[in-house]
Structure 1
């Protein structure tokens, strides 16, 4: 990764691999991040991870069965080409406090794919906006609080092209709240604009 005027080697800890950007690392399946290393997940955490993946796969399956080719589609008015965006996955990775008894912050990731049936010779400039909302609860609180974040990304799509992207969101918590449970409550990606170039 770039550091000032030079390139620095990414130090990948045991049970981890280089991330999609090539400038950081992610823990392998069955492991979770703990400061600069990857520690084994408990059987409960592995089960929770599997349930999340299963729910996500079921949701993608359900949308495909409805014949929808994406979560959100827009038509480019000059060519009538359709452009769709679809969430293909998501993940929540929370970093524990030094004592390991509450969460300091969480990194949420959203994976999506944008595709088009455009068949011309130019290219489409597509802007995608994704937002994610989390629900969290502190040790002493009964009420759930929410926080959300959004980002946008531009894509250039050629005829029958598609592009995949991963967006990263970070949610920090103040230590006095001692947040003990966090989950993704909703996530959506939509197409902001489509222009022919």
Structure 2
């Protein structure tokens, strides 16, 4: 009996699987296509029977039935499952509680943004009380894209002061940095700022100019160490060598420093 049951089930289960797959395919097809042959939109609202609403319809929140979406003038159906199912056309925006689409009030010297429901001012104009007014550029100034900071900036060698561009007083052997902070200038290479002037850096023998903003402006060559205003040759004790920078010495391996000598470790 058991063998007979297994034999019958062995013939029956492929048929059952095939029927299940066919029913699943029919369900998908019926959900993807409307009765008129047009493809349905992916919506989740239902008319109470479990079937989704057709495109252009939305479930009534009171009764659950599919009701047509009311489109005001200059609006279109979005076909989306969320929101109101409608939106205003390019160049229009919702008004009167969202029941109307009114034209965007575009002032002179302005253009619609990509979304089409807002506007921005043309280059050279700034938003002022719903209008686009010309940006006043002072002498030695130029237009920028940053309208939040006035829409203009000063040429190199000048600095913003109120609504004007004022020349930066750069000392001899200096150059303007074109920054809004600090003194607005720096000294040329080989010079350092001293009391508002650029003074030449005196480089001692066996030294070279340094690009560091701190210190004396010079560094000793390898094998020399810095003293007050000069570079002195480093005297290496026995069993010692110059360190990585070359301006000090350290003991060889197996030795340790004691005073100015390197001795064997205990």
TM-score range for the pair, normalised by the shorter chain length: under 0.3
Higher relative contact order (CA 8 A, sep 6+): 1
Tell me which protein shows more strand as a share of its residues: 1
TM-score (norm 1): 0.24
